Amino acid sequence: MRDCKICGRKSGDEELCEYHQSALTNLKSAYEIWSEAEEHLAWEEYIKQVNELEETGRWVKEIIENIMSQNGS
C-alpha cells in the first residue's frame, strides 16, 4: 500500500489518492476541450490559467502545484 505523493492519504498501488487522481483526470480532460477552443494552447499555459481561476478546487490546485514543481516552473 502506497501513500499519495501530494497529501499522504492511502492510495493503494497508485501514486495519487482517489481525490488527486480524479482531479488530474478532470484536468487532463478539460485540457482537451480548452485546447480545441484555443488553438495552440500549451499545457503549461493551460494549467497556469486554471490555477488562477477562483473556481478551481483545492485538489486541482494541489495537482497543478505538483506538476509545476516537477517542471521547475
> What's the confidence (pLDDT) of residue 40?
81
> What's the confidence (pLDDT) of residue 70?
87
> What's the confidence (pLDDT) of residue 38?
84
Q: What is the pTM of this model?
A: 0.86
Mean pLDDT by 10 residues, the chain (73 residues): 92 92 95 86 94 95 94 70
Q: How far apart are CA 54 and CA 8, in angstroms?
A: 25
Query: Could you tell me how many helices (H) and strands (E) the chain has, helices first?
Result: 3, 2
> What's the confidence (pLDDT) of residue 12?
86
**Structure-block grid coordinates of residue 39:** 488553438
What is the length of the chain? 73
In the chain, the largest separation of any two C-alpha atoms, in whole Å, equals: 41
